[in-house]
């Protein structure tokens, strides 16, 4: 598989040169942890989700995106309109990732599930990088995300999360991003 870059949203309050998983961030800066854990306020069940194959929890990995975030934001604009905001994000060479610490979570659906079903679905769709046999086109597929934005445009109760239908690249451990490019996209 050839994956050149992965991407990660850069918080406006980001300081430093290292990305940390949420649970590590809790030990480093409780204030930052509290701020970033708010994105799970509507999905608290995910914070305790075990990733069995990685021998850790959902918040023990950094969640990276294999698709340039600008492409995702373009689709968000297409279905939900412009908001006059911007996102900065890191463009991280895939070669920076240790293969033994890299996992893929493939998305099959954007439908909500009961907690138990979600845990099962997540764990059935997480694969170590070294064992990955998926077609690279599946990784770069925006179809599920587009489907989700379409649902959000029709249902104001749905929150338009950016990565609901995107394959997640999960990285177990911290990641030095000091030499990574920072990109910005208005939406």
Instruction: Work out the average pLDDT over 144-153.
Output: 94
Structure tokens at 178: 């000091």
In the chain, how many domains are there? 1
The pLDDT, as a whole number, for residue 141 is 81
Name the DSSP letter for residue 46: H
Please answer whether residues 3 and 66 qualify as being in contact, where contact means their C-beta atoms are separated by less than 8 angstroms.
Answer: yes
pLDDT > 70? residue 29: yes
The SS3 call for residue 93 is strand
φ, ψ at 86 (rounded to 5°):
-145, 155
Please answer whether residues 43 and 112 qualify as being in contact, where contact means their C-beta atoms are separated by less than 8 angstroms.
Answer: no
pLDDT > 70? residue 25: yes
The pLDDT, as a whole number, for residue 83 is 87
The SS3 call for residue 110 is coil
Beta strands in 11-121 (DSSP E): 18-19, 50-51, 56-57, 61-64, 86-93, 102-105
Instruction: Work out the average pLDDT over 103-108.
Output: 87
pTM: 0.90
56 is in which domain, residue-wise? 5-186
Which is more confident, 3 or 57? 57
Please answer whether residues 73 and 166 qualify as being in contact, where contact means their C-beta atoms are separated by less than 8 angstroms.
Answer: no
The pLDDT, as a whole number, for residue 136 is 58
pLDDT > 70? residue 135: no
φ, ψ at 84 (rounded to 5°):
75, 30
The pLDDT, as a whole number, for residue 94 is 94
């Amino acid at each position: 598989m050839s994956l050149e870059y992965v991407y990660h949203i850069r918080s406006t309050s980001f300081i430093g040169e290292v990305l940390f998983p949420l649970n590590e961030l809790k030990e480093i800066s409780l204030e930052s942890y509290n701020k970033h854990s708010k994105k799970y306020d509507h999905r608290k069940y995910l914070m305790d989700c075990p990733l069995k194959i990685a021998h850790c929890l959902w918040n023990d990995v950094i969640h990276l995106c294999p698709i340039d975030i600008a492409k995702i934001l373009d689709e968000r604009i297409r279905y939900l309109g412009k908001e006059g905001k911007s996102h900065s994000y890191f463009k991280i060479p895939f070669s920076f990732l240790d293969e033994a610490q890299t996992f893929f979570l493939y998305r099959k659906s954007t439908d909500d599930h009961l907690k138990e079903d979600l845990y099962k679905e997540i764990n059935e769709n997480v694969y170590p990088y070294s064992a990955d046999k998926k077609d690279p086109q599946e990784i770069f597929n925006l179809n599920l995300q587009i489907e989700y934005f379409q649902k959000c445009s029709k249902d104001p109760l749905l929150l338009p999360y950016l990565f609901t239908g995107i394959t997640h690249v999960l990285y177990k451990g911290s990641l030095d991003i000091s030499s990574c490019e920072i990109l910005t996209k208005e939406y």
